[in-house]
Chains A and B, each alone.
Chain A
Amino acid sequence: MAGTACDPVWMVMDGTDAQDAGRDAAAPDSDEALMARVADGDAAAFDRLAARHMRRAVALAQRVTGNPSDADEVVQEAFLRVWQHAGRWEPGRASFTAWLQRIVVNLAIDRRRRPGWQPIDEALPDEAPDATVLIGEREDAARVTRELGRLNERQRLAVVLFYQEGLSLRAAAEALGIGPTAFGSLLARARQALRAALLEEKDP
Chain B
Amino acid sequence: MTDDDVRRLLAAHGADLDRWPDGLGDAARDRIAASPALRAAWTREEAFDRQLAGPPVTVDQARVDRLVAAVGRAVRATPRETFRGLLLGRMRLRTAGALAAALLTLGWLAGSRPETPSPGGGLIAFDPPTLFDGTAR
Contact = CB atoms under 8 A, between A and B. Distances in A.
Interface in B14-62: 14-19, 21, 29, 32, 42, 46, 48-59
Given A2-B18, A62-B57, A47 B50 contact: no
Interface in A114-165: 122-125, 137, 140-141, 144-145, 159, 162-164
Contact of A192 (B12, B49, B75): B12
Contacts of A75: 67, 71
Interface string B49-92: 11111111111000110011011101110101111000000000
Interface stretch (A19-27, A53-61, A95-103, A105-113): A53-61
Contact of B49 (A5, A39, A140): A5
Given A76-B70, A76-B71, A80-B75, A1 B17 contact: yes
Contacts of A188: 12-13
A137 B51 CA distance: 9
Nearest to B19: A169
Given A124-B55, A194-B52, A181 B75 contact: no
Contacts of B96: none
Given A55-B59, A188-B12, A163 B49 contact: yes
A185 to B, nearest CB: 9
A4 B49 contact: yes
A168 interface: yes
- By secondary structure, the A interface counts as helix
A168 B18 CA distance: 10
Given A163-B49, A184-B21, A76 B81 contact: no
Contacts of A140: 51
A125 B60 CA distance: 13
A159 B52 contact: yes
A93 B58 CA distance: 31
Interface residues of A, number: 57
A7 interface: yes
Given A3-B18, A54-B67, A76-B70, A122 B54 contact: yes
A58 B54 contact: no
- Which of B53, B54, B55, B71 has the largest count of A CB atoms less than 10 A from its CB? B54
Contacts of B78: 80, 83-84
Question: Shortest 5 CB-CB distances between A and B: which pairs?
Answer: A5-B49, A188-B12, A163-B52, A79-B71, A2-B18
Given A1-B29, A80-B78, A169-B21, 11 more contacts: A1-B15, A2-B17, A4-B46, A9-B57, A9-B58, A54-B68, A62-B57, A79-B71, A87-B82, A164-B57, A188-B13
Interface of B: 11-19, 21, 29, 32, 42, 46, 48-59, 63-64, 67-68, 70-72, 74-76, 78, 80-83
Interface of A: 1-10, 39, 41, 43, 46-47, 50-51, 54-55, 58-59, 62-63, 72, 75-76, 79-80, 83-84, 87, 122-125, 137, 140-141, 144-145, 159, 162-164, 166, 168-169, 180-181, 184, 187-188, 191-192, 194-195, 198
